[in-house]
Protein backbone atom coordinates (compact mmCIF):
# COMPACT_ATOMS: atom_id res chain seq x y z
CA UNK A 1 0.00 0.00 0.00
CA UNK A 2 2.90 2.36 0.73
CA UNK A 3 4.14 2.20 -2.85
CA UNK A 4 0.61 2.86 -4.12
CA UNK A 5 0.26 5.92 -1.88
CA UNK A 6 3.69 7.27 -2.89
CA UNK A 7 2.84 6.81 -6.57
CA UNK A 8 -0.49 8.57 -6.05
CA UNK A 9 1.20 11.53 -4.36
CA UNK A 10 3.76 11.76 -7.19
CA UNK A 11 0.90 11.74 -9.72
CA UNK A 12 -0.82 14.54 -7.83
CA UNK A 13 2.40 16.59 -7.73
CA UNK A 14 2.59 16.38 -11.53
CA UNK A 15 -0.88 17.93 -11.81
CA UNK A 16 -1.07 20.43 -8.96
CA UNK A 17 1.04 22.16 -6.34
CA UNK A 18 -1.48 21.85 -3.53
CA UNK A 19 -1.99 18.46 -1.97
CA UNK A 20 -4.62 17.77 0.66
CA UNK A 21 -5.80 14.52 2.19
CA UNK A 22 -9.08 14.95 0.30
CA UNK A 23 -7.18 15.34 -2.99
CA UNK A 24 -5.20 12.17 -2.26
CA UNK A 25 -8.43 10.30 -1.49
CA UNK A 26 -9.98 11.50 -4.76
CA UNK A 27 -6.95 10.34 -6.76
CA UNK A 28 -6.94 6.98 -4.94
CA UNK A 29 -10.61 6.42 -5.84
CA UNK A 30 -9.99 7.21 -9.50
CA UNK A 31 -6.94 4.92 -9.89
CA UNK A 32 -8.38 1.98 -11.81
CA UNK A 33 -4.97 0.26 -12.07
CA UNK A 34 -5.32 -0.90 -8.46
CA UNK A 35 -7.91 -3.29 -7.12
CA UNK A 36 -10.83 -2.06 -5.04
CA UNK A 37 -9.54 -3.61 -1.81
CA UNK A 38 -6.26 -1.69 -1.99
CA UNK A 39 -8.00 1.57 -2.91
CA UNK A 40 -10.50 1.18 -0.05
CA UNK A 41 -7.73 0.37 2.44
CA UNK A 42 -5.73 3.44 1.39
CA UNK A 43 -8.80 5.66 1.61
CA UNK A 44 -9.54 4.30 5.09
CA UNK A 45 -6.06 5.40 6.23
CA UNK A 46 -6.68 8.92 4.95
CA UNK A 47 -10.22 9.01 6.36
CA UNK A 48 -8.73 8.08 9.72
CA UNK A 49 -6.05 10.79 9.41
CA UNK A 50 -8.72 13.40 8.67
CA UNK A 51 -10.58 12.36 11.83
CA UNK A 52 -7.53 13.21 13.98
CA UNK A 53 -8.21 16.90 13.41
CA UNK A 54 -4.54 17.87 13.00
CA UNK A 55 -4.41 18.40 9.23
CA UNK A 56 -5.59 21.62 7.62
CA UNK A 57 -6.81 21.72 4.02
CA UNK A 58 -4.13 24.25 3.05
CA UNK A 59 -1.35 22.96 5.28
CA UNK A 60 1.30 25.09 6.92
CA UNK A 61 4.33 26.66 5.31
CA UNK A 62 7.30 25.63 7.44
CA UNK A 63 9.04 29.01 7.13
CA UNK A 64 5.94 30.62 8.66
CA UNK A 65 6.35 28.50 11.78
CA UNK A 66 10.08 28.73 12.50
CA UNK A 67 11.24 32.34 12.41
CA UNK A 68 13.92 34.18 14.33
CA UNK A 69 12.61 35.93 17.42
CA UNK A 70 9.20 34.24 17.34
CA UNK A 71 7.58 31.87 19.79
CA UNK A 72 5.22 29.24 18.41
CA UNK A 73 2.97 27.19 20.67
CA UNK A 74 1.73 23.86 19.37
CA UNK A 75 -1.21 23.03 21.62
CA UNK A 76 -2.09 19.36 21.30
CA UNK A 77 -4.34 19.25 24.36
CA UNK A 78 -7.51 18.96 22.28
CA UNK A 79 -6.34 15.67 20.75
CA UNK A 80 -7.47 12.72 22.85
CA UNK A 81 -5.29 10.02 21.30
CA UNK A 82 -1.76 10.11 22.77
CA UNK A 83 -0.27 8.32 19.75
CA UNK A 84 -1.64 11.02 17.43
CA UNK A 85 -0.04 13.68 19.65
CA UNK A 86 3.25 11.79 19.51
CA UNK A 87 3.03 11.52 15.71
CA UNK A 88 2.51 15.30 15.47
CA UNK A 89 5.57 15.87 17.68
CA UNK A 90 7.55 13.36 15.60
CA UNK A 91 6.66 15.01 12.27
CA UNK A 92 7.37 18.55 13.45
CA UNK A 93 10.48 17.54 15.40
CA UNK A 94 11.85 15.66 12.41
CA UNK A 95 11.22 18.55 10.03
CA UNK A 96 12.91 21.02 12.39
CA UNK A 97 15.86 18.66 12.90
CA UNK A 98 16.47 18.15 9.18
CA UNK A 99 16.08 21.87 8.43
CA UNK A 100 18.54 22.63 11.23
CA UNK A 101 21.09 20.25 9.69
CA UNK A 102 20.63 22.05 6.36
CA UNK A 103 21.00 25.43 8.09
CA UNK A 104 24.20 24.30 9.79
CA UNK A 105 25.56 23.25 6.39
CA UNK A 106 24.75 26.71 4.99
CA UNK A 107 26.49 28.32 7.97
CA UNK A 108 29.62 26.18 7.45
CA UNK A 109 29.68 26.97 3.71
CA UNK A 110 29.55 30.70 4.45
CA UNK A 111 32.32 30.29 7.00
CA UNK A 112 34.50 28.72 4.28
CA UNK A 113 33.88 31.62 1.93
CA UNK A 114 31.05 30.21 -0.10
CA UNK A 115 27.84 32.18 -0.06
CA UNK A 116 24.75 30.09 -0.74
CA UNK A 117 21.69 32.14 -1.67
CA UNK A 118 19.43 30.24 0.69
CA UNK A 119 18.75 31.10 4.29
CA UNK A 120 18.59 28.59 7.10
CA UNK A 121 16.33 28.46 10.11
CA UNK A 122 17.39 29.99 13.44
CA UNK A 123 18.38 27.97 16.49
CA UNK A 124 15.28 26.31 17.95
CA UNK A 125 14.36 25.57 21.53
CA UNK A 126 11.51 23.10 21.97
CA UNK A 127 9.73 23.08 25.32
CA UNK A 128 7.75 19.88 25.84
CA UNK A 129 5.07 20.11 28.50
CA UNK A 130 4.32 16.74 30.09
CA UNK A 131 7.32 15.19 28.34
CA UNK A 132 6.72 11.91 30.19
CA UNK A 133 3.81 11.31 27.81
CA UNK A 134 6.15 11.41 24.81
CA UNK A 135 9.15 9.80 26.53
CA UNK A 136 7.80 7.28 29.05
CA UNK A 137 10.42 5.40 31.05
CA UNK A 138 9.30 1.86 30.18
CA UNK A 139 7.84 2.26 26.69
CA UNK A 140 8.31 3.87 23.31
CA UNK A 141 6.07 6.30 21.47
CA UNK A 142 6.18 7.47 17.85
CA UNK A 143 8.09 10.56 19.11
CA UNK A 144 10.75 8.68 21.11
CA UNK A 145 13.40 8.30 18.41
CA UNK A 146 13.23 11.85 17.08
CA UNK A 147 13.27 13.39 20.56
CA UNK A 148 16.00 11.18 22.03
CA UNK A 149 18.30 10.43 19.11
CA UNK A 150 18.04 13.56 17.00
CA UNK A 151 17.20 16.28 19.52
CA UNK A 152 18.81 15.15 22.80
CA UNK A 153 21.87 13.33 21.45
CA UNK A 154 22.65 15.08 18.17
CA UNK A 155 20.69 18.33 18.27
CA UNK A 156 23.26 20.60 19.90
CA UNK A 157 25.52 20.74 16.82
CA UNK A 158 22.85 22.08 14.46
CA UNK A 159 21.52 24.45 17.14
CA UNK A 160 18.61 22.53 18.68
CA UNK A 161 17.70 22.43 22.35
CA UNK A 162 14.91 20.58 24.09
CA UNK A 163 13.58 21.34 27.55
Helix (H) or strand (E) holding 15: helix 2-15
Q: What's the pTM value of the predicted model, to 2 decimals? A: 0.73
Q: What is the pLDDT of residue 79?
A: 87
Q: What is the pLDDT of residue 26?
A: 93
- Give the closest residue to 97 by CA, choosing from 132, 68, 123: 123
Tens-place pLDDT, residues 50-68: 888 878 777 777 778 888 8
The low-confidence residues of the chain, meaning pLDDT below 70, are none
Tens-place pLDDT, residues 16-30: 877 889 989 999 999
Which of helix, strand or coil describes residue 74? coil
Rounded CA separation 82/128 (Å): 14
Q: What is the pLDDT of residue 86?
A: 93
Backbone angles phi, psi at 118, to 5 degrees: -80, 155
Helix (H) or strand (E) holding 126: strand 124-126
Q: What is the pLDDT of residue 39?
A: 94
User: Measured between alpha carbons, how far apart are the two ends of the chain, in Å?
Assistant: 37
Tell me the domain boundaries of the chain.
2-51, 62-162
Amino acid sequence: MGVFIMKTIEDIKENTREISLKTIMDFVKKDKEQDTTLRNAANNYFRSAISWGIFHEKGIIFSDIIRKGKVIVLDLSSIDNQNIKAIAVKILGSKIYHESIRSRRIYEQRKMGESPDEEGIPMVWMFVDEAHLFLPRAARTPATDILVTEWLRQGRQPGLSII
